[in-house]
């Protein structure tokens, strides 16, 4: 079993520093170039299937990988980013301050803060239960195309860490994290947040390697 966690390409809201969450923003021109670059990075790698968030910024990235590998692609709603609810569209600096304040008011940790009409990271952890169950029963080579926060939660779960560990992880646009499941059921981290494929995309478009969600 081999998994490739891939964050989506860049959007205009990444550039502007806005929280996207479930807001369905498409890739910008740089993001399309990044998606093409990560697709080409998968060319020649045997992939059995591609599983993507159903939001278009992720599925556009998945389609580029599909074009290079001919692997079937499917969409899953449970692979979406954390919903920021009423905070979607907010500048991330303001959101961070608001989240800290709300956490202090409620007496909860960072991962338990739930925006109005949104999700906490602990909610995302639980939301991913069906997906985790599905991959545990698989021996396939799967590319999972999703979002920064969701990549962090998936990596923490696969490495058998706790939800608070997600604060240690950052994924640039189209970053690839590769894991191999060993015979004992534990996952080996083969590479983490690799964006080396973006060298050509940067040269062509001047794109940035954004780390916001």
Supply the pLDDT for residue 137: 86
Is 181 labelled a binding residue?
Answer: no
Q: pLDDT for 176-187, tens place per residue?
A: 999 999 999 999
84: buried, middle or exposed (CB in 10 Å: 19+, 13-18, 0-12)?
buried
Question: How would you write 80-91 as a 3-class SS string?
Answer: CCCCCHHHCCCE
Whether residue 125 is annotated as binding a ligand: the answer is: no
pLDDT in tens, 92-146: 999 999 999 999 999 999 999 999 999 999 999 999 999 999 999 899 999 999 9
Is 180 a catalytic site residue? no
Residue 182 in domain: yes
d(CA 27, CA 31): 5
- Report the phi/psi class of residue 153: left, alpha or beta, with left for phi > 0 and alpha for psi in -120 to 50: alpha
109 is in an annotated binding site: no
Pair 130, 119: CB distance under 8 Å: no
Could you read off the pLDDT of 64-106 as tens digits, one per residue? 999 999 999 999 999 999 999 999 999 999 999 999 999 999 9
Domain count, the chain: 1
Report yes or no on 212 lying in a domain.
Answer: no
What CATH number corresponds to the domain at position 61? Answer: 3.40.50.1240
**Is residue 168 situated within a structural domain?**
yes
Q: Say what the pLDDT of residue 206 is.
A: 47
3-state secondary structure 162-208: CHHHHHHCCCCCCCEEEEEECCCCCEEEEEEEECCCHHHHHHHHCCC
Residue 211 covered by a domain: no
Q: Name residue 73's beta-bridge partners.
A: 50
- Inside any domain, residue 72: yes
Task: Identify any residues that bridge with 4 across adjacent strands, giving them in sequence order.
Answer: 143, 178
- The confidence score (pLDDT) of residue 153 equals 98
pLDDT category of residue 207 using cuts at 50, 70 and 90: very low
- Domain membership of residue 90 (yes or no) is yes
> What is the extent of the structural domain holding 176?
2-205
* Mean pLDDT, rounded, of the chain: 94
Whether residue 213 is contained in a domain is answered as no
User: Is 22 known to be catalytic?
Assistant: no
Give the span between the Cα atoms of 208 and 89, in whole angstroms: 20
Q: Which of 22, 63, 81, 137 is catalytic?
A: 81
Does residue 12 lie within any of the structural domains?
A: yes
Counting residues of the chain whose pLDDT is more than 90, the rounded percentage is 92
CA distance 29 to 164: 34
Dihedral sign for Cα atoms in the order 94, 122, 163, 158: negative
């Amino acid at each position: 079993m081999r998994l490739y966690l891939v964050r989506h390409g860049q959007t205009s809201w990444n550039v502007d520093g806005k929280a996207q969450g479930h807001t369905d923003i498409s890739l910008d021109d740089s993001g399309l170039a990044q998606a093409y670059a990560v697709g080409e990075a998968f060319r020649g790698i045997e992939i059995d299937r591609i599983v993507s968030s159903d939001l278009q910024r992720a599925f556009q990235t998945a389609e580029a990988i599909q074009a290079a590998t001919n692997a079937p692609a499917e969409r899953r709603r449970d692979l979406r980013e954390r919903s920021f609810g009423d905070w979607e569209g907010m500048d991330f600096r303001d959101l961070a301050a608001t989240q800290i304040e709300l956490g202090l008011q409620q007496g909860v940790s960072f991962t338990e803060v739930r925006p109005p009409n949104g999700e906490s990271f602990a909610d995302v952890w639980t939301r991913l239960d069906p997906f985790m169950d599905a991959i545990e029963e698989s021996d396939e080579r799967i590319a999972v195309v999703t979002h920064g926060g969701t990549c962090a939660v998936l990596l923490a779960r696969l490495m058998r860490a706790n939800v608070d560990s997600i604060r240690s992880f950052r994924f640039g646009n189209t970053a690839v994290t590769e894991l191999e499941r060993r015979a004992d059921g534990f996952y080996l981290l083969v590479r983490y947040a690799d964006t080396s494929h973006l060298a050509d995309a940067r040269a062509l478009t001047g794109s940035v390697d954004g780390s916001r969600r």
